[in-house]
Amino acid sequence: MPHERIVRARIAGRVQGVWYRAWTREEARDLGLDGWVRNRRDGSVEAVFAGAARDVEAMLDLCRSGPPLARVADVAVEDIDARVERGFEQRPTA
């Protein structure tokens, strides 16, 4: 079954070293989303979320606050056309 919505999100602020990737992986899995999350060398976090539109939107809302130690300054979102594997993984820094 194809994904209803696929987005790439770039999260800026104090989002590295605060458990953001592992938190994102757990929240995305709880929502049944596919995709991945990784740190970027510029200090941001990048993620791809794929699934039902309402679940993707719920995840983006969660990303705007993040885990307790995070201080999110911005979440830039773009809809993308990509093939996304089933499951949600944490990837190495890019």
Q: Is 21:9 a contact under the CB 8 Å cutoff?
A: no
Q: Is 39 among the residues known to form the active site? A: yes
As a whole number of angstroms, the distance between CA 37 and CA 48 comes to 7
Q: Which of 14, 21, 25, 91 is catalytic?
A: 21
Q: Which of 5, 25, 39, 54 is catalytic?
A: 39
As a whole number of angstroms, the distance between CA 26 and CA 32 comes to 10
Residues annotated as catalytic are 21, 39
